[in-house]
Amino acid sequence: MINEEDKEIIKRFGMHLAKLRNEKDLSQRQLSHRCRVDYSKIGAMERGEVNVTLITITELAKGLDIPPKELLNFDLE
C-alpha cells in the first residue's frame, strides 16, 4: 500500500513530467504518439494518480527525446 510520503513523490514526478512535456511544446496526445504510453495514462501520471514503472519511464524518455535519468531529476521535498 502506498503511504502519504509515496503519494507526494508520485505527485512531484507528475508535475515534473508535465513541465518537461510543456518545455517540448507537446500535448499529452502528441507525447503519446511518440511513445507507447496512452495519453490518458500520461494525464493520470501528471495528476499524480499513477505509480509509474521503469518501462513507462523509458518510453516517456524516448517520447520526450531525453535520457531517462532526466525524468527522475526532481526535488523529493
Residue ranges per domain, the chain?
4-69
**Blockwise average pLDDT, block size 10, the chain, 77 residues:** 92 98 98 98 98 98 98 90
Q: Alpha-carbon distance 18 to 33, whole Å?
A: 16
Check residue 77 and give its pLDDT: 76
CATH code that applies to domain 4-69: 1.10.260.40
Check residue 9 and give its pLDDT: 96
Check residue 2 and give its pLDDT: 87
